[in-house]
Amino acid sequence: MTDSTSKIDLIGLSREQLAAEMTAIGEKPFRAKQLWHWLYNRGETDFFKMSSISKTMQAALDERYTVGRPLVERDLISVDTTRKWLLKFPDGNEAETVYIPDEGEARGAVCISSQVGCTLTCKFCHTGTQLLVRNLTSAEIVGQFLVARDSYGEWPTPDDSTRLLSNIVMMGMGEPLYNFDNVATALKILMDGDGIGISKRRVTLSTSGVVPMMKRCGEELGVNLAISLHAVTDEVRDRIMPINKKYPLKELMAACRDYPGASNARRITFEYIMLKGINDSLVDARQLLKLVKGLPAKFNLIPFNPWPGSEFECSDMKIVRAFSDFLQDNGYSAPIRKSRGQDILAACGQLRSESQRQKQSRMAARIAAGIPDDHAV
């Protein structure tokens, strides 16, 4: 019998790869379509429960393959019903996934991570203080959504009008465009109409501005684009978002203008975190309008979520409202994002912070007790 650790995980394989695996075990390519339905429409993980597949094939699949899921280390639900999963992968690394319900509606978005840690070191983001460990695989990215589906029992795939997990936002840990191949494979699986079937119009990918990859993202995926902007001058953006030194505002805004599919019906969202005395004046608001002139744009204003050691403070809400009102008076949608899941550290910029802090505390305690570093976890 094949050792389970050497089995091939079918989750995360493209349709073409799945068909190739069926050919490898002597099955016809159409078997891949049957299997796809069981994996992504029914959410089945046990080959022997896939009733439309022969018992001989079930045994062959079980011998060679597995249907993986990340291990749920922690499952936390906020007082506002936001839900966060701390997920562990086979190599021991972790990432976090969050379900953010829409207020007053029986639907919401799953916020998915693309990397373990982050390479961007944005100064206002607690997640950015955690060094990049590695990219997540397509299986690990898809697996995050599958865990959410499992948790809410949303199998088989429901009609769009009755979905609880209705949207996907690539806004978790990491920069999606620095892991584009795996992210693209995963999103194509999640958007496939024969399986999970999330419409591309309900998928938003957020980038800090990896300019060379933006056009390819639009051409290959056609998803909604969100830009983590957060400043209106290169001087300020260089300070709070080091990626701006590589791709300054002029290049970033040109890439936005070239983004395939952007229109008044599918506006680019510009995310803007409100930092007291840094980027929150009406002068900044006027410059913001100049930056996006001619673009199909909308804004998402984000009150800063403070964290220990941060050099920033959140703008006063009076200032945030004035900023929002100015943008809206000039014809732009500019809602103030309500912070969700703060009590479970699931809010913007807080992902994996608690897990990292606990590990560091345990390590410090071990070192204080004289236990060598190689025992620290």
CA distance 281 to 59: 65
Q: Which helix (H) or strand (E) holds 309?
A: none
Residues 6+ positions from 318 with CB-CB distance below 8 Å? none
The Cα angle at residue 374 between residues 371 and 377, in degrees rounded to 5: 85
> Which amino acid is residue 28, in one-letter code?
K
Catalytic residue among 118, 314, 348, 354: 348
Residue 118 appears among annotated catalytic residues: no
Residue 314 appears among annotated catalytic residues: no
Strands (E), the chain: 8-9, 65-66, 71-77, 83-88, 94-101, 108-111, 115-116, 134-135, 165-170, 203-207, 224-228, 268-274, 297-303
CA distance 88 to 1: 26
CA distance 31 to 314: 55
Secondary structure of 53-97 in HEC code, one letter for each residue: CCHHHHHHHHHHEECCCCEEEEEEECCCCCEEEEEECCCCCEEEE
> Which amino acid is residue 27, in one-letter code?
E
Bridge partners (DSSP) listed for residue 203:
168
Residues 6+ positions from 301 with CB-CB distance below 8 Å? 272, 274, 320, 323, 324, 334, 335, 336, 337
Exposure on the CB side of residue 372, measured as CA atoms within 13 A: 2
Catalytic residue among 21, 27, 44, 96: 96
Max distance between CA atoms of the chain, in angstroms, equals 70
Residues 6+ positions from 90 with CB-CB distance below 8 Å? none
Token pair of 217 as six digits? 């993202």
φ, ψ of residue 281 to 5 degrees: the values are: -85, 165
Catalytic residues: 96, 348
